[in-house]
């Protein structure tokens, strides 16, 4: 297979500017800014009080003004809201309303205060293998709900897995998601995905299916369980190429408390051949459940049950 090096290149940061709003600013006569949460590729996120929701805390995402002038960037930003507002699942981030203010393009969404999976892995916070698998099962459930609506996430990575203070999972960021069968958008295709988590079939042929999300889920599972990525090169391109040339060390050989069956399930999700992967998030969730059965049985309460694919 020929590797498309254009698809290996890292995405550009499009909107990492200084905070445009100040503490106490009120948006759309309802959202009062109480803190600045940070910036992403498309804009800035603020923690606000929403007086239309009993003064509850919400996150408001604001598109950078320079991007608001670019039609494809604005469409991509609003696509996140349009897709997110259709979702209703405990493991998917909830999206609320667009912000009606002429000088801003923005929307409100659920505030999740426990950071994200990338930070959890980076901090090397000690958590049990049972807890790691619970997190992975919740990601699988959220992804399964997304796929049932025929939506492919297409940028599944640890930074997009938000965690509550109790480490409950919320899959987020649907800005470059696409509906199954939707043709590529050439304008946004140049920055689709994150090199470390893009599927082999997209890299070689530009093909995106729900199984591409399964591959990214496998890579995240490997990273969460072992504490390090499956493939690490000196450059983004080299990191991508390693997955075609090498086989990662089995997770149970990296961490002592990882069952062999769990290693097998994770590496199956990371298969280069889409047909060899679990075919649905529910199938992967069931594999996780089965390989951890002794842990579930020994617990006072079973945290999950098998689900139908």
Q: Is 155 a catalytic residue?
A: yes
Tokens describing residue 229: 């990525």
Of 50, 155, 173, 213, which residue is the catalytic one? 155
Q: How many CB atoms lie within 10 A of CB 55?
A: 10
pLDDT (average), residues 295-300: 57
pLDDT (average), residues 31-45: 91
pLDDT band (50, 70, 90) for residue 10: very low
pLDDT (average), residues 136-150: 97
Tokens describing residue 225: 């369980």
Give CA separation, 69 vs 75, 105, 173, 190, in Å.
Answer: 11, 10, 21, 18
Look at residues 265, 258, 274 and name the one whose alpha carbon lies nearest to residue 137: 265
Any residues with CB less than 8 A from the CB of 69 and at least 6 apart, and which? Answer: none
CB crowding 233-245: b at 16 or more within 10 Å, else e: beebeebbbbbee
Is residue 273 within 8 Å of residue 199, measured between CB atoms? no
- Whether residue 303 has pLDDT greater than 70: no
Collapse the DSSP code of 282 into the 3-class scheme (helix H, G, I; strand E, B; otherwise coil) and give the result.
helix
Tokens describing residue 126: 């000690």
Is residue 229 within 8 Å of residue 293, measured between CB atoms? no
Cα–Cα distance measured from residue 241 to residue 232, given in angstroms and rounded to the nearest whole number = 10
Question: How does DSSP classify residue 28?
Answer: T
Average pLDDT value over all residues in the chain:
87
Minimum mean pLDDT among 110-124, 168-182, 230-244: which range? 168-182
């Amino acid at each position: 297979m020929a590797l498309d090096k254009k698809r290996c290149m890292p995405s550009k940061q499009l909107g990492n500017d200084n905070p445009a709003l100040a503490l106490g600013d009120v948006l759309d006569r309802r959202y009062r800014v109480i803190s600045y949460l940070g910036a992403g590729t498309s804009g800035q996120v603020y923690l606000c009080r929403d007086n239309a929701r009993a003064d509850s805390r919400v996150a408001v995402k604001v598109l950078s003004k320079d991007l608001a002038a670019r039609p494809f960037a604005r469409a991509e930003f609003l696509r996140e809201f349009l897709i997110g507002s259709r979702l209703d699942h405990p493991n998917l981030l909830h999206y609320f309303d667009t912000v009606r203010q002429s000088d801003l393009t923005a929307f409100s969404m659920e505030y999740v205060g426990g950071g994200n999976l990338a930070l959890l892995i980076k901090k090397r916070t000690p958590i049990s293998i049972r807890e790691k698998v619970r997190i992975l099962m919740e990601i699988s459930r959220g992804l399964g709900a997304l796929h049932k609506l025929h939506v492919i996430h297409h940028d599944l990575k640890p930074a997009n897995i938000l965690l509550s203070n109790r480490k409950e999972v919320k899959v987020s960021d649907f800005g470059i998601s696409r509906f199954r069968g939707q043709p590529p958008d050439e304008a946004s295709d140049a920055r689709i995905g994150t090199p470390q988590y893009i599927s082999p079939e997209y890299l070689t042929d530009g093909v995106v299916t729900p199984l591409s999300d399964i591959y990214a889920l496998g890579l995240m599972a490997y990273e969460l369980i072992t504490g390090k990525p499956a493939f690490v090169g000196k450059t983004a391109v080299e990191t991508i190429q390693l997955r075609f040339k090498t086989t990662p060390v089995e997770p149970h050989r990296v961490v002592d408390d990882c069952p062999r069956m769990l290693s097998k399930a994770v590496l199956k999700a990371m298969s280069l051949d889409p047909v060899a992967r679990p075919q649905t998030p529910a199938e992967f969730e069931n594999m996780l459940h089965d390989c951890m059965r002794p842990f579930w049985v020994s617990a006072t309460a079973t945290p999950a049950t098998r689900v139908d694919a």
